[in-house]
Structure 1
Amino acid sequence: MTALGQPIDYLIVVAYFVGILGFGAYFGRFTKSTRDFFFGGQRFSWWLIAASLVATGIGSYSFIKYAQAGYLRGMSSTMTYLNDWFIIPLFMFGWLPIIYFARIKSVPEYFQRRFDEKTRIVATIFTLLYLVGYIGLNFYLLGTALKALLGIPISVSVPVVALISAIYVTLGGQTAVIFTDLIQGLFLYLAGAILLFLGLSYVGGFGEWWSNLDLAHRLPLPGFNRPPDFNFSAIFWGEGIAGTIAFTFINQGFIMRYLAAKSVTEGRKCLTFNTLILMPISAIVVGNVGWIAASMLAKGMTVTLADGSAVRLSQIDPKEVFVLVANVIARPGIFGFVIAALTAALMSTIDTLINACAAISIFDVYRPYIKKDASDKHYLKASRVASVLATALGLLLVPVFAGPESIFAAHYAFVSMVTPPMAVAILLGVTWKRFTPKAAFWSMIIGGVLILLSVFFPVLIKPFAWTHNISPEGGYKYFRAVYGVVVVGALAVIISRFTKPKPESELVGLTFETIQKAKELFKGGKPNEEPGQKLVRPMRIQKGSEKEIYLTQNDMNLLEAREGDLLYIADGRRWLGGLRSLHVKAGKPHDQDELVLVPEPVAKEGNLLRHRKVRIEKIM
């Protein structure tokens, strides 16, 4: 089968695969426990987490998906990237501090601590369906691109990528995921900028491009309720509920990334920067090829297929817009770089989801029900096996997403079914102490059944879609999320009124009202939140078994720290982003000027180097 591109393009793609495999595997040396494997030791700076989330977020939506949407719908394809604002405050000041300070390892674990064990089991099933399904979707998207480039079937190209992803995730865990996603994020931003520049040049410049777009393609938002498969009402509700809430509150991979931050404050900085700066940039990066293609269509330009024939854009499958248009506007070598970036975008989401599936498998299935009270070393080995199994399950789901409907429709048809029950349970669990365990359990079970019934009987969704005058064409795929939230929410409130809530003493640290108490439990004492300075000091590693470090009284005063406070010590090189660092308590002050005394076990755990200065700051 003839393929697009030139030999140099293939060489670049192969070099990328080899490089990212070696780069990711390198970080296996920093993974010594399950805490490292899943949460990176909770040590990283906000900018590193934010940069790695660029690749994770873009991979979730993909160049292919938004090129298709941009080609068919124009500038309004950016709407889904800018639809996060209304839920962000609740995550920043509610969900994030709760899961961080309560030391919650997985979303289902919250369900057990907030409700009961049987609700945790239901949450585990829903979460695994969501995550494994997302792995399958992203494998399919990647296979679509590589089929056009390499000319080989998805059944061959996808397993190769799956193998590479599984290897470096299995070896390096969350640390490998974060640092490979950092590199992959830089790759895809650079590729997006190159394509935008080359694309505008190809169609005759910015003015020519803009003049060739019709009015509908220039508008920043789609029509209120038309067309049925992409309109404002459907995208707002479908993306806002099934997309944003699911990705922010349920996606274990997303949550684990924020739990890898060195503090809640760093997590909030990351989320703010990501929402206000990186998401708008990402919307342009992933959508611009589709916008260029729309202008090319208006000018009657052609693209070259793998067999060398030239056809008009109106004759191709919109799913292939990205690869075919990129091949036309990019020169040899540049095209290979673009495909490598596309691969990076999708692999970065896949590796996050694989790591997340492994976490759920270990914390919510293997440890509580199969192998209790084993050593952490045993669970670390089991985590690596779980990563391989999650990859295999994702591969089996690829055919599910290979149907004739649009990628947008396939995405929301899947996500809208599995996320509303858990989304409602989390939101009510965090904000309403009266929400009972029985209400959580039965609203998820009954609500899940009613959502499934709506697939076979779309008329159930009609009352909700009718309020926006949405037509029944397509089975109300986008409004299934609204239907699910209303049904599950109503069940939750009604059942709560007739059942007994948990005692407030058992809800400490698990609701918005008890976050301050959660801080005390996290530290093991009353938090000291007086602002202090951040210091850079020489370090001396000494013998000892203590899990604390020792500073001078003057440095303690500068930090506004007291003995027993939680500190963060890191290699003085900020560009490492916290790779060599850890949290540790402040010990009794010493009298050796401007020197930090660090016991050997602490230095080893934090991967600190003897000849390097360290940065110290107070966490609480």
Structure 2
Amino acid sequence: MLGTIDIAIVVLYLAFMLGIGVYTLKYAKSLEDYLVAGRRLVLFTYIPAMAAVVLGGASTIGTGKLGYLYGISGVWFLVMLSLGIIANGLIVAPKIIPLKIRTMGEFLEKRYDRSTRLIGSVVVAIYDLMVAVTQTIAIGTVFSAMLGWDPSLSMIIGGLVVLLYTALGGMWSVTLTDILQFWIMTIGVLILVPVFGFMTMQSQGLSLSQLPSSYFDWGNVGGDTILLWFMLYFFGLMLGQDIWGRVLTAKNKKVGTIGTVAAGIYGIIYAFAAVFGGMVAYLLFSGGLENPQYALPSFVAAVFPVGLAGIVLAGMLAAFMSTGDSCLLAATSLIVYDVIGSLKKFSERTMLMLLRIFNVLFGIFMIVAAVAISEVLVALDIAYLYLSAGL
């Protein structure tokens, strides 16, 4: 379990996220600001914001679990997600940014008709809600493993924070929190987890050579599983409104293309850090964890010193919340802007009010569904299977 200082760091982090939501309320005065942050992101703000959308609970907790169970082949999960982002940057982003659209649904109507916009928006909104559910589950997993809190209570607390700051500031709130969360997760997961992994092995006389030989087989997770991940996640990352919404915040086509590809490359590097953490956890606990989903947070709680453990926990929470907020906003945007807004015309002020109301309603659903499902990769598989099959 973590110390008082670590818990204080996490509480301050959550409070700061809420503070950003309140601060950005003054910037979200129009649909353009609420949905696409005024299309004002330049490269040094766009890259961390995009990377933060992709690297959520499944990318961190799920990849750590795969490293614990299968070794190096666990990277394929996040590699497929990252390749999907790279493909999005090369194929999708250059085409949709010049259109000056606000949502994927708007593109569907331009390309096909209003019926396609309505149906497609509902399908993708359900997918985005399910991805938001996975992030809420991941929050409960980490709090339970590292703080000893009840998982359901943890999901409620984390989910409420995401719900509130997303509803208040829309894409501006999501963007500013995502940029901060990117740097926290970079320090906490990408840097500190590998560093302390090597230090732990050295201090306790552990070696990667003590792992089962299958842990160094790139196909250990199974060729059929790798193919499934490719079909679900490579194509899914080119289609989701959570990703499109971020792409459309780019200032121009160059920023969107280069920034999206860079975020995908970052994701591949992140995959190896998370898998390595899971492999070290296997050595540290002799493969005896009751729940492999706790591999990465249990490793951090066991070996990190006071203060640094709180930073890493905040980094994990940052990964979950940065994806959860984008997906929650995406689902809300599609239903309010593309479905309700297509069926009846409202003033911009009324649309902003509806966006905030539905953010709250969908946020409540996100929390309830997370408590009911309670398994990160199961929820994510449901989301991407639904999206890929539906589109």
TM-score higher than 0.5 here?
A: yes
Q: Which amino acid aligns with 2:258?
A: K
Q: Which amino acid aligns with 1:383?
A: L
Q: Is the 8 A contact 1:200 1:209 kept in 2?
A: no
Aligned positions of 1:107-126 closer than 5 A = 107-126=104-123
Aligned positions of 1:329-368 closer than 5 A = 329-368=303-342
Deviation at 1:98, TM superposition (A): 3.1
Deviation at 1:339, TM superposition (A): 1.4
Deviation at 1:367, TM superposition (A): 1.2
1:69-95 alpha-carbon deviations (Å, 9 max, x no partner): 001111111122323687667634543
Cα distance change on mapping 1:265 and 1:364 into 2, 3 Å: same
Q: Which amino acid aligns with 2:253?
A: V
Deviation at 1:139, TM superposition (A): 0.9
How many Å separate the matches in 1 of 2:361 and 2:161?
14
Instruction: State how many pairs are aligned.
Output: 390
Q: Is the 8 A contact 2:17 2:177 kept in 1?
A: yes
Q: Is the 8 A contact 1:73 1:222 kept in 2?
A: no
Of the three residues 387, 405, 409, the one matched with 2:359 is 387
Cα distance change on mapping 1:24 and 1:413 into 2, 3 Å: closer
How many Å separate the matches in 1 of 2:135 and 2:277?
19
Q: Is the 8 A contact 1:55 1:185 kept in 2?
A: yes
Q: Which residue matches 1:12?
A: 9
Of the three residues 287, 290, 294, the one matched with 1:320 is 294
Q: Which residue matches 1:589?
A: none
Question: Structure 1, unaligned stretches of length 5 or more?
Answer: 224-229, 301-312, 423-620
Cα distance change on mapping 1:163 and 1:115 into 2, 3 Å: same
Q: Is the 8 A contact 2:94 2:256 kept in 1?
A: no
Q: Which residue matches 2:215?
A: 217
Aligned positions of 1:573-584 closer than 5 A = none
How many Å separate the matches in 1 of 2:294 and 2:160?
24
Q: Which residue matches 1:411?
A: 380
Q: Is the 8 A contact 2:133 2:379 kept in 1?
A: no
Deviation at 1:65, TM superposition (A): 0.8
TM-score normalised by the chain length of structure 1: 0.59
Q: Which amino acid aligns with 1:411?
A: L
Q: Secondary structure at the match of 2:41?
A: coil
Of the three residues 273, 291, 295, the one matched with 1:285 is 273
Q: Which residue matches 2:249?
A: 260
Deviation at 1:365, TM superposition (A): 2.0
Of the three residues 50, 54, 71, the one matched with 2:51 is 54
How many Å separate the matches in 2 of 1:204 and 1:327?
18
Deviation at 1:23, TM superposition (A): 2.8
Deviation at 1:204, TM superposition (A): 1.4
Q: Secondary structure at the match of 1:314?
A: coil
Aligned positions of 1:385-534 closer than 5 A = 385-402=357-374, 407-422=376-391
Q: Which residue matches 2:130?
A: 133
How many Å separate the matches in 1 of 2:72 and 2:293?
17
Of the three residues 275, 283, 289, the one matched with 1:295 is 283
Deviation at 1:347, TM superposition (A): 0.8
Q: Is the 8 A contact 2:40 2:249 kept in 1?
A: yes
Cα distance change on mapping 1:53 and 1:205 into 2, 3 Å: farther
Q: Which residue matches 1:200?
A: 198
How many Å separate the matches in 2 of 1:158 and 1:409?
16
Cα distance change on mapping 1:70 and 1:103 into 2, 3 Å: same
Cα distance change on mapping 1:88 and 1:391 into 2, 3 Å: closer
1:263-312 alpha-carbon deviations (Å, 9 max, x no partner): 01111110222233x12221133222202112335xx4xxxxxxxxxxxx
How many Å separate the matches in 2 of 1:174 and 1:245?
24
How many Å separate the matches in 2 of 1:365 and 1:401?
27
Q: Which amino acid aligns with 2:241?
A: Q
How many Å separate the matches in 1 of 2:65 and 2:222?
15
How many Å separate the matches in 2 of 1:124 and 1:180?
26
Q: Secondary structure at the match of 1:29?
A: coil
Matched, 1:270 2:242: no
Q: Is the 8 A contact 1:354 1:390 kept in 2?
A: yes
How many Å separate the matches in 2 of 1:89 and 1:349?
17
Cα distance change on mapping 1:85 and 1:347 into 2, 3 Å: closer
Cα distance change on mapping 1:393 and 1:36 into 2, 3 Å: same
TM-score normalised by the chain length of structure 2: 0.92
| Greater share of strand | 1
Cα distance change on mapping 1:136 and 1:332 into 2, 3 Å: same
Cα distance change on mapping 1:245 and 1:339 into 2, 3 Å: same
Matched, 1:180 2:171: no
Of the three residues 80, 83, 107, the one matched with 1:83 is 80
How many Å separate the matches in 2 of 1:338 and 1:324?
12
Structure with the greater alpha carbon radius of gyration: 1
Q: Secondary structure at the match of 1:134?
A: helix
Cα distance change on mapping 1:129 and 1:85 into 2, 3 Å: closer
How many Å separate the matches in 2 of 1:340 and 1:89?
27
How many Å separate the matches in 2 of 1:5 and 1:348?
23
Q: Is the 8 A contact 1:126 1:419 kept in 2?
A: no
Q: Which residue matches 1:248?
A: 238
Q: Which residue matches 1:142?
A: 139
Cα distance change on mapping 1:89 and 1:410 into 2, 3 Å: closer
How many Å separate the matches in 1 of 2:153 and 2:86?
43
Q: Which amino acid aligns with 1:214?
A: P
Q: Is the 8 A contact 1:146 1:154 kept in 2?
A: yes
Cα distance change on mapping 1:176 and 1:315 into 2, 3 Å: closer
How many Å separate the matches in 1 of 2:371 and 2:113?
36
Q: Which amino acid aligns with 2:327?
A: L
| Greater share of helix | 2
Of the three residues 20, 39, 42, the one matched with 2:39 is 42
Identity of aligned residues (%): 22
How many Å separate the matches in 1 of 2:225 and 2:337?
36
How many Å separate the matches in 2 of 1:396 and 1:263?
38
Q: Secondary structure at the match of 2:24?
A: helix
Q: Which residue matches 1:439?
A: none
Q: Which amino acid aligns with 2:101?
A: I
Cα distance change on mapping 1:384 and 1:120 into 2, 3 Å: same
1:337-360 alpha-carbon deviations (Å, 9 max, x no partner): 221111111011111111111211
How many Å separate the matches in 2 of 1:89 and 1:408?
22
Of structures 1 and 2, the one scoring higher in RCO (CA 8 A, sep 6+) is 2
How many Å separate the matches in 2 of 1:71 and 1:387?
36
Q: Secondary structure at the match of 1:41?
A: helix
How many Å separate the matches in 1 of 2:85 and 2:62?
24
